[in-house]
Amino acid sequence: MSRVLLIEDDQAVRAGLRLALTRQGHAVEAVETGEQGLDRIVAAAVEVVVLDLMLPGMDGFEVCRRIRALGDLPVIMLTARNDDMDVVVGLEAGADDYVVKPVQPRVLEARIRAVLRRTGARQPVGSRAALERHGDLTIDRAGLVISKDGTAIGLSPTELRLLLELSGAPGRVLSRQQLLETVWEHGYLGDSRLVDACVQRLRAKIEDDATSPVYVQTVRGFGYRFGPL
């Protein structure tokens, strides 16, 4: 049973999603403001946050930023419409995934399970060396620890899974759709903005200069590859 924190100000939506997710086997705590949600994150053992963007007072974007500043807790944001700016800003704030309202509980539940699998994912140690060194970047696949110049780097589960996927095939170009399928477990025609935003956040953490990346390189018109070769 996973512990889900739902932050949603609409009472009907909050009650409906709480009931649906509870029936699907999750332990759900539901609150109506961002401030209440942040308090519960500190006090409770939450495994994933489902966060509405349009909240009274502190909006969902700021809540997401504060959650991300606290650590690697997965965040799935709810947006009232498929608004490009809302989605992009939410992803840049640190969200791992998003669902457009009106929310289909089965879709949300599938996204929750996918992000939780990423949180607890383990790469097969025998598939590649458990400890890899790429320049000043060290990847410990067994311990799931990423360090640079000997200092550990804090990555969210999605950022970590993306780095492991890219570094598992150095020099090989992986399309955005391939990454959506393997990292986010999204099927056909997933949203490539998820990949681009996560790459942006990952570069900010592992690159000396995110505007001139060495490790996560863009191949225009195709996708991304891991270097240096």
Last residue of a domain, one of 119, 134, 153: 119
- 19 and 103 in a common domain: yes
211, 172 Cβ separation under 8 angstroms: no
Number of domains in the chain: 2
For residue 88, CA distances in Å to 17, 28, 84, 143, 195 come to: 24, 27, 6, 31, 11
> Is 191 or 20 the better-scoring residue by pLDDT?
20
Residue 125's pLDDT is what? Answer: 38
Is 193 found in the same domain as 174?
A: yes
pLDDT-based confidence at residue 126 (cuts at 50, 70, 90): very low
Same domain, 111 and 211: no
Same domain assignment for residues 21 and 129: no
Say what percent of the chain tops pLDDT 90. Answer: 74
> At 178, which CATH number?
1.10.10.10
The CATH number of whichever domain residue 56 belongs to comes to 3.40.50.2300
Residue 149, classified by CB atoms within 10 Å of its CB into exposed (0-12), middle (13-18) or buried (19+), is exposed
Mean pLDDT of all residues in 2-30: 96
Q: What are phi and psi of 222, to 5 degrees?
A: -125, -60
Question: Is residue 229 classed as helix, strand or coil in its secondary structure?
Answer: coil
Helices (H), the chain: 11-23, 34-43, 60-70, 84-92, 105-119, 157-167, 176-179, 193-206
Predicted confidence (pLDDT) per residue in 48-82, tens digit:
999 999 999 999 999 999 999 988 899 999 998 66
Query: Taking 80 as the threshold, does the pLDDT of residue 188 lie above it?
Result: no
Domain boundary (85, 119, 153) is at 119
Q: Over pLDDT 70: what percentage of the chain?
A: 92
Q: What is the pTM of this model?
A: 0.86
pLDDT tens, position by position, 80-115: 866 678 888 999 999 999 999 999 999 999 999 999
Average pLDDT over residues 196-204: 96
pLDDT at 3: 94
Q: Which of 73, 99, 119 is the last residue of a domain?
A: 119
Do 193 and 222 lie in one domain? The reply is yes
Q: Mention every residue, 6+ apart, whose C-beta is less than 8 A from residue 119.
A: 47, 48, 74, 157
Could you tell me which of 166, 173, 161, 183 has the C-alpha nearest to residue 223? 173
CA distance 170 to 228: 8
pLDDT confidence of 213, banded at 50, 70, 90? very high
Helix axes 157-167, 193-206, angle to 10 degrees: 90
- Same domain, yes or no, for 43 and 99? yes
Structure tokens that stand for 145 in this block = 């620890």
What is the residue-averaged pLDDT of the chain?
Answer: 90
Asked whether residue 18 falls in the same domain as residue 115, the answer is: yes
Same domain, 77 and 107: yes
Domain that holds residue 39: 3-119
| Per-residue confidence (pLDDT) for residue 123, from 0 to 100 | 46
